[in-house]
Amino acid sequence: MKHLELLKLVHDNKELIDKAYRDGRIDSVKEELSDSSLFVKISGTYKLNKNYLNFVDSVLQRVDYSIIFGDYEKEYKELVKNKNRFLENRNAHYKNQLIELIESLFFKFLNRDREIQVLLLRVENDTSLDIDILIQNANDILEKIDELIEANTKIGKLFREDLRDIDGEIDALLSSISVDILKYIQNIESYIKQISAFLIQTKNRRLQNKKLSKLANQILDEKTQELDEYLLLHKKYLYHTIAKNQRHRVVTYPSYRDIYKVNKAAKIILDGFEVKKKIKSSTIKPQQTQKLDIINIEELLKDLDASKCDDIFVYIYNHKELAIYEGAKLKEEAFKLYLQITTHEKLHFQEEFNKFGIKVARWE
């Protein structure tokens, strides 16, 4: 079946497919739908193929709690294998395999980043699950996100070092996606902070719910001695608490006189406070040049104006302010600074790559 034929089949049966998607299963389908593998027969009924459901959920951003984050181990092994074969005989087939694998990994980074955002939003706004299940789901997500850190480091090293300088086309591809890959990797830290804050908040809410449940059960069982004692002890501060009368009973409904006393006392207390209206600050910040602790970007631009260097990355790499670093850390910090100025009007990219596998840029 061709792609256009598949699209027509889905369009002609859109209502039936939508019903199966919403209800989970249907009793019967046309033979052509079953033959196309869109539907799978299970226990006498038909369900939509899992691959189709994954495609729909991804497009509609409906991510399940059972999302598989993945560690890219399969792609990593294939990349290393095809790299070695390409270096042996320079066959174009292996180069194309490398390009396809790199692009596949890039889309995995992209989709995973979006899916994690949707998943965290769903967890934070889910009111249908028991609070203990929510906490367990959040812990599972946090554990999976932690596992991504090691996988990201491994793939990042492969892209930055191991796959560089073997072919110009591959180098150009890696350079074009490097900024986005770096952004997706850095997002992991913010996701960990977000889910950790949610866990703390949810655990506090569970503790409050347990206290309220215990109190409610005590009231229903008429075991209110502890509650009565607490209310009497704090009767000056609790609105519905009145001191014991002559019959030693707690009156739970105050009279108008009691309400007037409470209001008067509250007014005296509140008059002593000056409440200042909190000024809301926008979360949208204007775009500005980032100043790193290790070197002032403005000073770096002045140095580049004075030097008119032929390779900006090499110039930054050898800059005196980066003398405190060495090895891979030096290259990493130099690359971060290099990214800061890639959009400057005086920077002009060249066709060749330097010894670090980074596209040469001149300052003119």
- What pLDDT was estimated at residue 361? 86
Tens of pLDDT along 30-46?
A: 888 877 878 888 767 88
- What pLDDT was estimated at residue 305? 82
The burial class, CB within 10 Å (0-12 / 13-18 / 19+), for 108 is middle
Residue 38 sits in which domain range?
3-59
Task: State the chain's maximal CA–CA distance in angstroms.
Answer: 102
Tens of pLDDT along 249-264?
A: 555 566 778 788 888 8
Distance between CA atoms of residues 265 and 269, nearest Å: 6
pTM score, two decimals? 0.42
- What pLDDT was estimated at residue 317? 86
Q: Are residues 103 and 132 in the same domain?
A: yes
In whole angstroms, how far apart are CA 115 and each of 63, 76, 280? 6, 22, 30
- What pLDDT was estimated at residue 129? 60
Number of domains making up the chain: 4
Q: Are residues 85 and 207 in the same domain?
A: yes
CB contact at 8 A, 300 and 336: no
Q: What is the CB-side half-sphere exposure of residue 24 using CA atoms within 13 A?
A: 0
Distance between CA atoms of residues 364 and 102, nearest Å: 33
Q: Are residues 204 and 334 in the same domain?
A: no
Q: How many CB atoms lie within 10 A of CB 107?
A: 9
Residues of the chain below pLDDT 70:
43, 57-71, 126-129, 134, 146-147, 230-254, 275, 277, 279-295
CB environment 183-214: b (16+ within 10 A), e (fewer): ebbeebeebbebbeebbeebeeeeeeeeeeee
Q: Are residues 86 and 29 in the same domain?
A: no
User: Which helix (H) or strand (E) segment is 205 a member of?
Assistant: helix 168-220
Q: Are residues 259 and 359 in the same domain?
A: no
Q: Within a domain: residue 83?
A: yes
Q: Are residues 202 and 81 in the same domain?
A: yes
Q: Could you tell me the two tokens for 304?
A: 């580049």
- What pLDDT was estimated at residue 291? 46
Q: Within a domain: residue 239?
A: yes
The burial class, CB within 10 Å (0-12 / 13-18 / 19+), for 231 is middle
